[in-house]
């Protein structure tokens, strides 16, 4: 698919990524001059929306994007919470399950050779994942423990010159939860990362 068509398709995928932020994700990834074979990874796949934006760039760059999720949703996706979607409940066990929707998204985008699913808890996968990363997008759970575990287990794998992108960073607590903002601050104050751009709640940092 041409990148224009892919970006238009991405907009139709269920998810929590406004168009401007999706395009910012795509553009930042596309600028990443890759030393092949480049390895990219996103934490938080949901139905594959950000995977299509990043996958569109990965395909052009010859990179592979790992798209990681346990596919049972975050706290705010569960029944009774703000972002619950009954269509994503698996009648087999009554649990939320986004895996087959994610698979269909990647298949429809013709990105099956570029976007590879990793199914499981983020910290378990991280402790068995040795490949250095040219790009990391953190968009997983927003609970304090989960967000910090994502940052602490994945950010050290980002190579010098590589990108660390964080979603749902809200300076104002009225706009959303704190943990993504806190890990963003931690990345900056670690001295290892500098901010290169931002769009909405997306922050793009580069490893020095």
| Binding partner of 168, given ligand SAH, Mg ion, none, CB within 5-8 angstroms per partner class | Mg ion
Residue 121 touching ligand SAH (CB under 6 A): yes
Q: Rank residues 34 and 126 by Cβ distance to ligand SAH and give the closer one.
A: 126
65: nearest Cα among 136, 5, 3: 136
Site size with Mg ion, rule: CB under 5 A? 4
Residue 32, phi then psi, degrees to nearest 5:
-70, 105
C-alpha to C-alpha distance for 117 and 112, rounded to whole angstroms:
9
| 70 has catalytic annotation | no
| DSSP assignment letter at 35 | P
For every residue of 114-173, DSSP letters joined together read: TEEEEES-HHHHHHT----EEEEEE-S--SHHHHHHHHHHHGGGEEEEEEEEE----SSG
Residue 139 touching ligand SAH (CB under 6 A): yes
What would the x/- binding string for ligand SAH be over residues 54 to 93, using CB under 6 A? ---------------xxxxxx-------------------
56: nearest Cα among 119, 13, 120, 118: 13
DSSP, collapsed to helix, strand or coil, labels residue 113 as: coil
Residue 139 touching Mg ion (CB under 5 A): yes
CB of 157 to Mg ion, least distance (A): 20
Q: Rank residues 47 and 166 by Cβ distance to ligand SAH and give the closer one.
A: 47
Q: Rank residues 28 and 47 by Cβ distance to ligand SAH and give the closer one.
A: 47
Segment contacting ligand SAH by CB under 6 A, of 54-62, 139-147, 151-159, 171-179? 139-147
Residue 117 touching ligand SAH (CB under 6 A): no
Nearest-10 Cα torsion for 70, 76, 78, 80: 180
Block residue for tokens 């939320």:
96
Segment contacting Mg ion by CB under 5 A, of 32-40, 95-103, 121-129, 166-174? 166-174
Q: Rank residues 72 and 157 by Cβ distance to ligand SAH and give the closer one.
A: 72
CB of 62 to Mg ion, least distance (A): 26
Any idea what the Cα angle at residue 123 is, between residues 148 and 111, rounded to 5°? 105
C-alpha to C-alpha distance for 207 and 161, rounded to whole angstroms:
5
Residues in the chain: 208
Active-site residue set: 142
Query: Which residues lie near ligand SAH (CB under 6 A)?
Result: 15-17, 44-47, 49-50, 69-74, 98, 121-122, 139-141, 146
**Which residues bind to Mg ion, rule: CB under 5 A?**
16, 139, 167-168
């Amino acid at each position: 698919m041409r990148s224009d068509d892919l970006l238009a398709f991405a907009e139709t995928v269920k998810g929590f990524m406004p168009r401007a932020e999706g395009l910012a994700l795509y553009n930042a990834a596309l600028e990443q001059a890759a030393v092949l074979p480049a390895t990219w990874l996103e934490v938080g796949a949901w139905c594959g929306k950000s995977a299509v934006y990043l996958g569109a760039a990965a395909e052009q760059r010859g990179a592979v994007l790992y798209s990681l999720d346990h596919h049972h949703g975050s706290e705010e996706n569960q029944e009774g919470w703000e972002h619950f979607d009954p269509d994503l409940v698996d009648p087999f066990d009554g649990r939320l399950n986004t895996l087959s929707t994610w698979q269909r998204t990647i298949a429809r985008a013709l990105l099956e050779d570029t976007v590879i699913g990793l199914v499981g808890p983020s910290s378990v996968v991280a402790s068995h994942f040795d490949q250095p990363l040219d790009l990391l997008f953190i968009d997983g759970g927003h609970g304090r423990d989960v967000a910090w575990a994502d940052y602490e287990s994945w950010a050290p794998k980002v190579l010098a010159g590589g990108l660390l992108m964080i979603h749902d960073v809200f300076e104002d607590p009225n706009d959303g939860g704190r943990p993504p903002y806190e890990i963003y601050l931690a990345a900056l104050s670690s001295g290892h990362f500098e901010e290169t751009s931002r769009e909405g709640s997306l922050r793009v940092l580069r490893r020095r």
